[in-house]
Structure 1
């Protein structure tokens, strides 16, 4: 079932001057609830990682890229670090930067290994913009993710993710847990892989160069075959047909 989770991984990269919200969430909620309160039929694995820089963050994701094929059930990776003010990636505790494109390339391996059962929760500012790093020409790097589109503060991170993970450990499903959070209102939102595809394809379609590329290619083909240039009506037909074909092909490539 979509959203069913059997493995929780927390990755934190916060400076010593900051409240270690990821470790608190892991120790007080995730570890304690799994070990002492969770029913045996839902029993989950749990891991915590403190990363100090981009290199160690990449190594952890590489590790799960290799080992996810041996992990049973859905995986949720919870990220506790800062989002870039430019909305183009994440900032590690040593101020090193990793782009969305780099992150999703690492996540994609895990998602493929788990057959589209990777989920991400992000206690970061501007985490919602991760979808901009996704390529429609490759498989989706996640089934879905929970994130914020703006700046978030420590108190709401602690309150909202405490609720999400308490509910998740009790019911076993991340989507259901998010819906419970959504009832009370939150700055964190859920986005699935299909919505990611639609958003990115819309941006792709609206690129002013896209229509020109489709029509130039069609004109070249028609001219070679028939020695003619297509008229305006035929151009519109060719464009619509080409757009539909590209949409279906990219969607097939992207989704599982």
Structure 2
């Protein structure tokens, strides 16, 4: 996976008060000391997001920052997938369908010169792939990771810890993708 580069990991978390596991915060708290202790030159941030509207704003701001010369982000989204598998559900119950999500990530991917890794930690997140390949449009991502089924948040968190641990230690996206194969989320 030559050529993939990033300088920032942005975790966007939209989990409601009924969600006892704040997996985005847990992931941030796991990665932050790893990055700091090893002196890895990657910015890490978490953004709490209440609604689909706020997510739109976050995606557009990331695009503006990249266009202004900011580091290429890995976009990691921690939210719920809709039961009908048509998109994402935010903590205020607003929804973002896959078409709109694709348009937002496509614009961000173009800004990164087609170098955007998108991770969707949401049930049925991989259904984005099934609905968004349009041969006449630029890709909405360089790489994409998401579960295709109903998931358990704790198992998914463990998978992403392994993925990022490998990615940050080696800067090898291929090795990080392969590290996911050894972790079951079913």
Same fold, judged at TM 0.5 (above): yes
- Match status 1:109 vs 2:107: yes
Counterpart of 2:70 in structure 1 is: 71
Give how far 1:138 is off: 1.4
- Separation in 2, partners of 1:123, 1:173: 21
Unaligned ranges ≥5, structure 1: 189-256
Cα distance in 2, alignment partners of residues 168 and 142 from structure 1: 17
Describe how 1:1-256 pairs up with structure 2 within 5 A. Answer: 1-18=2-19, 19-27=21-29, 29-39=30-40, 43-69=41-67, 70-72=69-71, 74-131=72-129, 132-182=131-181, 184-187=182-185
SS at 1:76 equivalent: strand
Structure 2: distance between partners of 1:107 and 1:154: 24
8 Å Cα contact 1:127-1:148 kept in structure 2? yes
Query: Which structure has the higher relative contact order (CA within 8 Å, separation 6+)?
Result: 2
> In structure 2, how many angstroms separate the alpha carbons of the residues matched to 1:142 and 1:153?
25
When the two structures are aligned, how many residues end up with a matched partner?
182
1:31 Cα deviation (Å)? 1.4
Are 1:13 and 1:81, in contact at CA under 8 Å, matched by a contact in 2? yes
User: What is the CA–CA distance in structure 2 between the aligned matches of 1:138 and 1:97, rounded to whole Å?
Assistant: 24
SS where residue 127 of structure 1 aligns? coil
SS at match of 2:137: coil
Structure 2: distance between partners of 1:84 and 1:175:
29
Quick one: distance in 2 between partners of 1:31 and 1:37?
10
> Which consecutive unaligned segments of at least 5 residues does structure 2 have?
none
Match of 1:217 in 2: none
- Which has the larger Rg? 1
Q: In proportion to residue count, which structure has more helix?
A: 1
Task: Give the CA deviation at 1:137.
Answer: 2.0
Contact conserved, 2:23 with 2:154, CA < 8 A, in 1? no
**Distance in 2 of aligned mates of 1:167 and 1:24:** 17
Instruction: After superposition, give the CA deviation of every residue in 1:227-250 in whole Å (9 maximum; x if it has no partner).
Output: xxxxxxxxxxxxxxxxxxxxxxxx
- Would you say the 8 A contact 2:52–2:94 is kept in 1? yes
Distance in 1 separating the partners of 2:43 and 2:177 = 20
SS in 1 for 2:83: coil
- Separation (CA, whole Å) in 2 of partners of 1:173 and 1:45: 17
| TM-score for both structures, normalised by structure 2 | 0.91
- Secondary structure of 1:116's aligned partner: coil
User: In structure 1, the residue corresponding to 2:146 is in which secondary structure?
Assistant: strand
